[in-house]
């Protein structure tokens, strides 16, 4: 299939859309997928996030370009009858957790502060690379949020909220710092459309699973696991994405049609006024996949001669005479006679005595020697 | 004068080391770039397995070349310097337990003759079998020894015996830094963050409030001279969850990944559906050969899992590799110099307890954990192990009923006593089951600051008599800054139970310090008990290269005892939790009271009453309208 894709792209270059092919705006893709709910009965939110993760990975975005935040662990939760699995379809048809998953922020680390820091890039210097969103001005970013929400807010971990104004400001910060080329924002919560009402930065496209005043509903429970497995909107979104492959030409208008009211009960909404291109010309793989534009060459390239492995032992002729030894694991005698090392500085023992002597001497000097006679 | 010269040379050394630092940072960034692009390339390549195998094929050929050359230069008498050689060994030990459960222990060892920390040598940049991410971490933070483990479940010593490599529930990290490090705390903080990225774990929650500096426990397991405990840091996260996202990067550190060798058996759906699962990484410098004249770096990745015969075994006392791991072995890792499967048959000398198939003529005896055990060995580097079907599936079928297990010599328990949410008592009970020998144990307790220990209530009793420890090291906690550290060396009398009790008071945290689910409770990490237990069989103090991996983890210094570490249960303690809805309730109540009280008062003072005429019917209104036009007085 790879060769087919490359051949298709090659013929495209050759014949018609050469200009359009190389003039597309983005060069790399990132995804920030966040599940904000804790507790076992919110299994479906983790399943939502993992199904989008699975689609995004399948379409080509590597783990190093995905920031996955799961607020609670469902797969290895003690209540899970099938550990290390998270199912999206009842009767355990599809395990979206899989065998090759890398969660960057988990458990208590999923907070509003960490989410906003990831988006704006203002992380402490010791944060590892896998936890950073290292996007640039040619990156297309997909942001997916799911959890419990309301009119103008989204609840994180049952203890704090992010408001739509904070989110809009974060995206404006990203725009001003040139951290994205185009951004697709998808939210699957109750009254999700309220979260994108306040956006004001350019090149943003947003989708939500329900309008203001409507609730997003969950899809189907599994009687063996005992909880609802997915939300309706993301379930149909997953069904739609399963048919997308890296060379697919499906565009955003198809994505807007996912889950009409007859299937979803709530009315999904979308917002494209801040987006510069026409949604019909935006491919799904522009955000969900990482389609690399490859230029095939038939010329031979000369590689440099192979590097010799560096010499590790300098002067192996001289043999070390003293042999090294292992340390005694429990040296009882040494431990008993060990003097505890005082880290805090204490003044030497005689110091206090000397200090008092000095004080007494000064006292008696100022007040005269005659007082001494009275004491002794 | 000498002082001035020393000062100058010190300044020079500091200057050069500071110059060296930025370059190391760069390589770390570049390395991450490389791994990122490497991973991205493998992701875009839909047929990833083919690319991986190609790389393995090429590396297998170069291994041949390396081996020949290393044989020639073994004595290092020739003056041509040998390139750094590394070797990889893998083994799986299967120990059937008396209750019908089965204990499988994987060990992967990469041995590399190089020195990350030696000054003045060229920086290590050519990695072959040793994972580059870990190598760069070691050299950047000047790490002498690193031990990290992730465990799900608790090891039941009374039912399962002693594990080969013990580990406490949750995550545990202890590190010995090189004696040249000047800022150990800064290095520790950065190291925990880097490791949290490598292992996809929340190790960034390790900070000063849960790090301790043991003064006598956790001596280095590798080579070392100075054991200044200022360079040791120890921390546990008892609440850390272990799941596939921790196993995935762990598997990626192996030279063959999870594509060949013993690592193909590691399927997360089976591994996490077990009573106990622990994966660990141990890095330390060890002796390169028997004379021990030079150091080599050893990276051990261990995975211990205990399968329960009711949940995984469907109640039948019959185990096979396929039943345990849902996979069979098809080949050894091509990069491994040795790949073996050991099955413990000590309790089955005549084959009356269980039946093992396929049969193997290879037997091996090893003294491990103070006992001489016999093992059937299957060598996966030989093609005949795989038989005609080219797949190796071990089968163990129980025939008879096994008796009771031999009681382990050292066993410990811990629990919280008391009632209410103000005070409590921590009881640690240590059992010495040896019939006539007494031996000392070192108990290390690290209690978080919010359980305020009253050390004056510390009592140690053995056989209902007071037992005074010969060494006590206590470092009190500082609120929100440092946890309690209590280390005691206790002599356990033979065949006795020793109880250590200490009372504590629970602190009230600030309302922002509570976790999002505070009613779950707060965890207290496991106590660590290190002991030299008298062994039944003489242990061998010689270090040989052919020793199986499971018996060569802890260096043996004397023949009559072996070193063991026992972890107790972690404690789950409820702290007094405020009602977080109270601010909302208070605001509502206050506003209601103010509104009702002040409002009524205001109305009473300023309200006047007027009589209001009811509006007249339509006819009268019309009549009034006409009268107004006419200028005539209106009707009432």
| DSSP assignment string, A326-362 | BPPS--HHHHHTPPPPP-S----HHHHHHHHHHHHHH
DSSP tag of B128? S
CB contact under 8 A, B244 and A331: no
Residue B355 pLDDT grade (very low, low, confident, very high; cuts 50, 70, 90):
confident
Confidence bin at B208 (pLDDT 50/70/90): very high
Query: Of the candidates B527, B562, B539, B559, which has an alpha carbon nearest to the alpha carbon of residue B439?
Result: B562
What average pLDDT does the structure give for chain B? 84
Going by pLDDT thresholds of 50, 70 and 90, the confidence category of residue B596 is very high
Please give the pLDDT value at position A176.
96
CA–CA gap between residue A83 and residue B150 (Å, rounded): 17
Verify whether the Cβ–Cβ distance B248 to A38 is below 8 Å: no
The predicted pLDDT at position B53 comes to 40
| CA A78 to each of CA A75, A130, B272: distance values in angstroms, whole numbers, following the listed order | 9, 28, 11
Q: How far is CA A30 from the centre of its chain?
A: 10
**B249 in contact with chain A, both atoms CB, cutoff 8 A:** yes
When pLDDT is cut at 50, 70 and 90, the band that residue A375 belongs to is low
Q: Which residue of B has its CA nearest to A57?
A: B43
Cβ neighbours of B144 in A, within 8 Å: none
Q: For A322, name the nearest residue in chain B, comparing CA atoms only.
A: B293
Rounded average pLDDT over B504-517: 91
Calculate mean pLDDT across residues B146-159.
Answer: 94
Q: How confident is the model at residue A14, as a pLDDT?
A: 55
The pLDDT confidence band at residue B4, using thresholds 50, 70 and 90, is: low
- As separate numbers, helices (DSSP H) first and strands (DSSP E) second, chain B gives 10, 26
pLDDT tens-digit series, residues A226-274: 899 999 999 999 999 999 998 888 999 999 999 888 888 899 999 999 9
Between A284 and B543, name the one with better pLDDT.
A284
A309/B83 touch (CB, cutoff 8 Å), yes or no: yes
In this predicted model, which residue has the larger pLDDT, B291 or B474? B474
For chain B, the first-to-last Cα distance in angstroms comes to 121
Contact B533, B157 (CB under 8 A): no
- In A256-315, the residues whose Cβ lies within 8 Å of chain B are 290, 292, 307, 309-315
The better pLDDT of the pair B440, B549 is held by B440
Q: Find the mean pLDDT for residues B372-394.
A: 88
In angstroms, the CA A201 to CA A167 distance is 11
| B454/chain A closest Cα distance in angstroms | 20
Q: Which of A2, A99, A323 sits opposite B45 (nearest CB)?
A: A2
Predicted local distance difference test score (pLDDT) of residue A18: 56
For A42-59, the DSSP string reads GHHHHHHHHHHHHHHHHT
How far apart (Å, rounded) are the C-alpha atoms in residues B27 and B129? 18
**Could you read off the pLDDT of B44-75 as tens digits, one per residue?**
333 433 333 443 433 333 333 333 334 444 44
pLDDT at residue B125 in the model: 76
Size of interface A-B (CB pairs under 8 A): 210
Report the mean per-residue pLDDT for chain A: 86
Query: Which residue, B288, B277, B258, is CA-closest to B84?
Result: B288
Give the least confident one: A116-125, B377-386, B490-499.
Answer: B377-386
For position B427, what pLDDT does the model report? 96
In this predicted structure, which of B383-392, B490-499, B621-630 has the lowest mean pLDDT?
Answer: B383-392
- Report which of residues B365 and B351 the model is more confident about: B365
pLDDT-wise least confident of A56-60, A321-325, B278-282 = A321-325
Is the N-terminal amide bond of A243 cis, ω within 30° of 0? no
Report the 10 Å Cβ neighbour count for A172. Answer: 16
The rounded distance, in Å, linking the Cα atoms of B524 and B449 is: 10
Query: Which of A136-140, A323-327, B32-36, B342-346 has the least mean pLDDT?
Result: B32-36
pLDDT at B42: 37
A 10 A CB-CB count for B321 gives 21
Q: Do the Cβ atoms of B244 and A311 come within 8 Å? A: no
Name which residue leads in pLDDT, A90 or B584: B584
Residue B371 has pLDDT above 90, yes or no: no
Distance from CA of B469 to the nearest CA of A (A): 10
Tokens of B620: 């009268």
Q: Does the pLDDT of residue B400 top 80, yes or no?
A: no
- Hey, what's the torsion of the CAs at B45, B48, B52, B58, to 10 degrees? -50
Q: How confident is the model at residue A206 (pLDDT cuts 50, 70, 90)?
A: very high
Phi, psi of B348 (to 5 degrees): -135, 55
Question: Chain centroid to CA B21: how far?
Answer: 29
pLDDT of residue B39: 42
Q: Does B416 touch chain A (CB under 8 A)?
A: no
Closest CB to B126: pick one of A65, A310, A341.
A310
Least confident of A190-204, A265-279, B68-82, B178-192: B68-82
Note the pLDDT tens digit of each residue in B518-541.
Answer: 889 999 999 999 999 998 888 877
pLDDT at A295: 76
Q: Has residue B10 got a pLDDT over 60?
A: no
Chain B residues with beta carbon closer than 8 angstroms to that of A83: 269, 272-273
Q: By mean pLDDT, which of A29-38, A53-62, B284-293, B515-524 is the weakest?
A: B284-293
Chain A residues in contact with B204 (beta carbon < 8 A): 109, 127
Residues of A in contact with B45 (CB under 8 A): 2
Instruction: Confirm if A137 and A149 have CB atoms less than 8 A apart.
Output: no
Does position A107 have pLDDT exceeding 60, yes or no? yes
User: Could you report how far apart the first and last alpha carbons of chain A are, in Å?
Assistant: 107
Residue A100, classed as helix, strand or coil, is coil
Exposed e or buried b per residue across A46-66, where buried means at least 16 C-beta atoms within 10 angstroms of its C-beta? bbbbbbbbbbbbbbbbbbbbb
The strand pairing partners of B462, in sequence order, are: B465, B498
CB burial class (10 A; 0-12, 13-18, 19+) of residue A169?
A: middle
- Whether residue A201 contacts residue A168, with contact meaning beta carbons closer than 8 Å, is answered with yes
Task: Tally the C-alpha atoms within 13 A of residue B162's C-alpha that lie toward its C-beta.
Answer: 23
- Averaged pLDDT for residues B314-333: 88
pLDDT for residue A4: 63
Query: Which CATH code fits A26-286?
Result: 3.40.50.1460
Say if the ipTM goes beyond 0.85: no
CA distance B82 to A311: 7
pLDDT > 90? residue B425 = yes
Q: Looking at residue B82, what is its pLDDT? A: 45
Q: What is the DSSP secondary structure assignment for residue B509, as one 8-state letter? A: P
In a mutational test of the B interface, the residue from A324, A331, A342 whose CB has the highest number of chain B CBs within 10 Å is A324
* Centroid of chain to Cα B146: 11
Query: Which one-letter DSSP state was computed for residue B230?
Result: G
Going by pLDDT thresholds of 50, 70 and 90, the confidence category of residue B499 is very high
> Are B100 and B316 in contact, with CB atoms under 8 Å apart?
no
Residue A294 to residue A7: CA distance in whole angstroms: 10
Angle (CA) B452-B457-B460 rounded to 5° is 120
Checking phi first, is residue A152 left (phi over 0); if not, alpha (psi -120 to 50) or beta? Answer: left
Mean predicted confidence (pLDDT) in B396-411: 83
Q: Are B217 and B565 in contact (CB under 8 A)?
A: no
Burial of B624 (0-12, 13-18, 19+ CB in 10 A): middle
Return the pLDDT at B603: 93
pLDDT for res B537: 83
A81 touches chain B (CB under 8 A): no
Task: Find which of B38, B50, B69, B197 to mutate to test the A interface (most A CBs within 10 Å of its CB).
Answer: B197
| Contact status, residue B569 vs residue B414, Cβ threshold 8 Å | yes
d(CA B276, CA B95): 14
- How high is the pLDDT of residue B295? 84
Q: How far is CA A280 from CA A196, A313, B27, in A?
A: 20, 63, 44
Place of tokens 């989008």: A52
| Alpha carbon distance B247, B15 (integer Å) | 41
């Amino acid at each position: 299939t790879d060769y087919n894709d490359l051949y298709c792209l090659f013929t495209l270059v050759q014949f018609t859309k050469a200009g359009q092919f190389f003039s597309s705006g983005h060069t790399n893709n990132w995804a920030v997928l966040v599940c904000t709910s804790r507790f076992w009965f919110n299994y479906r939110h983790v399943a939502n996030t993992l199904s989008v993760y699975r689609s995004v990975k399948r379409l080509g975005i590597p783990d190093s370009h995905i920031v996955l935040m799961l607020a609670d662990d469902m797969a290895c939760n003690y209540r899970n009858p099938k550990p290390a699995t998270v199912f999206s379809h009842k009767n355990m048809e599809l395990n979206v957790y899989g065998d090759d998953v890398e969660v960057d922020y988990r458990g208590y680390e999923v907070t509003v502060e960490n989410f906003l820091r990831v988006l704006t890039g203002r992380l402490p210097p010791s944060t590892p690379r896998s936890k950073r969103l290292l996007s640039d001005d040619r990156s297309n970013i997909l942001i997916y949020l799911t959890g419990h929400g309301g009119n103008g807010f989204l609840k994180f971990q049952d203890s704090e909220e992010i408001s739509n104004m904070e989110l809009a400001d974060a995206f404006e910060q990203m725009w001003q710092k040139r951290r994205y080329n185009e951004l697709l924002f998808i939210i699957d919560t109750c009254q999700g459309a309220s979260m994108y009402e306040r956006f004001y930065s350019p090149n943003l496209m947003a989708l939500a699973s329900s309008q203001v005043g409507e609730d997003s509903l969950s899809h189907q429970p599994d009687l063996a696991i005992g909880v609802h497995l997915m939300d309706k909107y993301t379930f149909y979104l997953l069904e739609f994405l399963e048919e997308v492959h890296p060379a697919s030409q499906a565009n955003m208008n198809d994505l807007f049609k996912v889950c009409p009211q007859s299937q979803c009960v709530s009315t999904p909404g979308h917002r494209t006024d801040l987006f510069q291109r026409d949604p019909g010309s935006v491919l799904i793989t522009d955000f969900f996949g990482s389609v690399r534009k490859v230029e095939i060459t038939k010329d031979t390239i000369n590689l440099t001669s192979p590097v010799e492995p560096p010499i590790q032992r300098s002067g192996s002729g001289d043999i070390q005479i003293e042999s090294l030894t292992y340390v005694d694991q429990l040296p009882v005698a040494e431990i008993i006679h060990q003097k505890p090392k005082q880290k805090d500085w204490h003044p030497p023992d005689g110091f206090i005595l000397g200090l008092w002597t000095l004080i007494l001497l000064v006292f008696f000097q100022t007040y005269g020697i005659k007082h001494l006679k009275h004491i002794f | 004068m000498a002082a001035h010269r020393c000062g100058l040379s010190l300044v020079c050394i500091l200057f050069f080391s500071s110059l060296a630092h930025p370059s190391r940072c760069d390589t770390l960034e570049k390395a991450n770039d490389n791994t990122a692009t490497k991973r991205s390339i493998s992701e875009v390549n839909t047929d990833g397995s083919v690319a991986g195998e190609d790389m393995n094929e090429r590396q297998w050929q170069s291994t041949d070349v390396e081996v020949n050359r290393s044989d020639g230069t073994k004595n290092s008498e020739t003056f041509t310097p040998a390139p750094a050689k590394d070797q990889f060994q893998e083994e799986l030990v299967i120990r059937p337990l008396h209750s019908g459960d089965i204990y499988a222990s994987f060990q992967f060892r990469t041995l590399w003759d190089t020195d990350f920390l030696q000054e003045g040598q060229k920086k290590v940049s050519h990695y072959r079998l040793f994972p580059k991410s870990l190598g760069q971490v070691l050299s950047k933070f000047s790490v002498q020894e690193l031990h990290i483990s992730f465990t799900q479940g608790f090891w039941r010593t009374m039912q399962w015996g002693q594990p080969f490599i013990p580990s406490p529930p949750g995550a545990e990290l202890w590190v010995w830094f090189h004696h040249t490090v000047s800022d150990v705390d800064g290095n520790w903080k950065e190291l925990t963050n880097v490791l949290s990225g490598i292992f996809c774990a929340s190790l960034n929650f390790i900070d000063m409030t849960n790090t301790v500096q043991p003064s006598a426990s956790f001596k280095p397991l590798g080579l070392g001279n100075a054991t200044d405990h200022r360079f040791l840091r120890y921390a546990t996260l008892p609440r850390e969850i272990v799941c596939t996202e921790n196993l995935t990067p762990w598997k990626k550190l192996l030279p063959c990944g999870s594509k060949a060798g013993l690592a193909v058996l590691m399927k997360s759906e089976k591994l996490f559906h077990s009573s106990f699962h622990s994966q660990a990484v141990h890095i330390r410098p060890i002796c390169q050969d028997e004379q021990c004249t030079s150091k080599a770096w050893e990276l051990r990745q261990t995975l211990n899992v205990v399968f329960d015969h009711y949940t995984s075994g469907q109640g039948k006392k019959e185990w096979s590799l396929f039943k345990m791991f849902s996979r069979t072995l098809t080949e050894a890792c091509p990069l491994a110099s040795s790949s073996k499967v050991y099955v413990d048959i000590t309790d089955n000398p005549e084959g009356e307890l269980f039946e093992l198939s396929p049969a193997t003529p290879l037997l091996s005896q090893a003294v491990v954990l103070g006992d001489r055990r016999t093992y059937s060995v299957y060598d996966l580097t030989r093609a005949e192990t795989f038989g005609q079907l080219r797949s190796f599936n071990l089968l163990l079928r129980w025939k008879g009923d096994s008796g009771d297990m031999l009681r382990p010599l050292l066993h410990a328990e811990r629990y919280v006593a008391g009632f209410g949410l103000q005070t409590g008592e921590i009881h640690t009970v240590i059992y010495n089951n040896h019939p006539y020998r007494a031996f000392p144990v070192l108990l290390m307790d690290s209690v978080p600051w919010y359980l305020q220990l009253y050390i004056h209530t510390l009592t140690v009793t053995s056989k209902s008599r007071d037992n005074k420890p010969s060494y006590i090291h206590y470092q009190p906690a500082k609120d929100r800054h440092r946890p309690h550290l209590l280390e005691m060396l206790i002599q356990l009398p033979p065949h006795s139970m020793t109880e250590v009790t200490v009372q504590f008071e629970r602190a009230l945290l600030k309302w922002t310090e509570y976790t999002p689910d505070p009613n779950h409770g707060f965890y207290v990490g496991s106590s660590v008990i290190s002991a030299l237990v008298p062994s039944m069989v003489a242990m061998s103090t010689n270090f040989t290269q052919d020793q199986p991996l499971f018996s060569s983890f802890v260096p043996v210094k004397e023949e009559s005892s072996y070193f063991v570490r026992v972890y107790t249960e972690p404690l789950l303690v409820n702290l007094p939790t405020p009602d977080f809805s109270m601010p909302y309730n208070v605001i509502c109540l206050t506003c209601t009271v103010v509104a009702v009280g002040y409002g009524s008062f205001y109305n009473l003072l300023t309200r006047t009453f007027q009589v209001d005429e009811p509006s007249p019917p339509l006819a009268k209104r019309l009549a009034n309208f006409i009268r107004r036009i006419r200028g005539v007085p209106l009707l009432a």
